[in-house]
Structure 1
Amino acid sequence: MSRHPVVALHSLFFDGSMFDDIAVLTGRAIIAPDHRGQGARSAEAPGDVDALADDVCALVQDLEEPVHLVGSSMGAYVAMVAAARLGDRVRTCTLSAATADAERRPEVFAALVAQLRDPGPAARVDLLAQTMFGSAFLETDGDRCRHWRERFARLEPSVADAAELVFERRDLWDDVRMISAPLRLLAGGLDRAKSPADMQRISDEVGCPPPLVLSRSGHTPFVEQPREVAEALASFWATHEE
């Protein structure tokens, strides 16, 4: 059986390491690049979804075979654009915790951007954690939760620039309709930022299966329920590998 490479695109405020548990649980080597302006590339100017999709397309074109493309939240927006452009270079596409709409609550996220600039992420760790995770994950206060709270506290105020570009993204429905690869949708049942209904609308529009709703997850199921996500992805990928 041919196992296609996996390219996974991280959420805002995270980096590629958010997929480490998925790599271990699926037994797959996952290519998880950091976006411009975040993670190991935090010194670079951030890009909007189209510029970041350029980066992903270049990466995929350099590989020798089609990929399983995965995107979480911000990464899902980038994946929508990249998958539309790449055509059959994408074997499957998984989108989590996103919407194809332009931001419908810009005032809420504009306020978050302002707080990231001043007083800065370290003073708003609780707000970031409550945005990115559901109550079940936060209440456990386990090692993964503490790890990411500590990572949020170390973010630079410049992450506000990346956040602003995400929140100002364009409508992505045309891109979603152009994706030719089989789609798998994931959603967190406790998500405060995007709802399972947002993912269901994508399913209704393009005719792919309804989203898998992770009942104990908020906005980041890859971190909150990695075992369940890994099982779903491993099965999905295997179905589409010869």
Structure 2
Amino acid sequence: MSMFDLTGKVAVVTGGSRGIGRSICEQMAAHGAKVVVSSRKLPACEEVVAGIKAKGGQAVAVAANISDKTQLENLVAESRKAYGRIDILVCNAAANPYFGPLTGLKDDVFHKIMQNNVLSNLWLMNAVGPEMAERRDGAVIIVSSIGALVGSAHIAAYNMSKAADLSLVKSLAMEWGKHNIRINAIAPGLIKTDFARALWDNPQIRSAQENKAALKRIGEPDDIGGVAVFLASKAGAFVCGQVIIADGGVIGSGAE
């Protein structure tokens, strides 16, 4: 049996209808997991489910807005109704409604960013943690960003939320690790997704990122999907409370 085999595991993925989240859904299904694809819009989730089923995988769609605790509780309930359990939680959904300097950041926008990108992850962890602890088995992945590790003149609030996620992962690992629940973060660099289109669709920004990267390219969603499979599988059994940077060698490259 492959160390990356997820057969028999149930994975819930937020923000699963496109980009990184879609890749995580597809890759986990390809490795045997039953996947619950979630995002705000049900038809988009159903499209991903259809693609997974067409390749022989198992998946269901459950719509949920991460800003709404009741909807997230319903996501957990519907996932259990469909598959009886939750073994893997991937908190991938996030919001970045503001692009600009902190001097122009409105309080309500900041609160929305922090609630969507940090508090929602804690809500989900607290909802699924007890059953994982009871079985003494679970894997939780929060998708952060290399923005958590650097300053920004344009997306500082988003970066702050992603930095908070790294701290959240470390503390959750301390709380839940004794129950054999492994909680980790992935910090992607610039990935070619709709979410990051404003960055990679800008020739100057894209060129700057490609020049900074040791691999001289920006990422594709599957560059992150594979990392998530590793963290969720037996291959990642001794990884806990960590952040895996997957950025093509931007951080630490020494590039100016």
Q: Which has the higher contact order (CA 8 A, sep 6+)?
A: 1
Instruction: Bin the TM-score by the shorter chain.
Output: 0.3 to 0.5
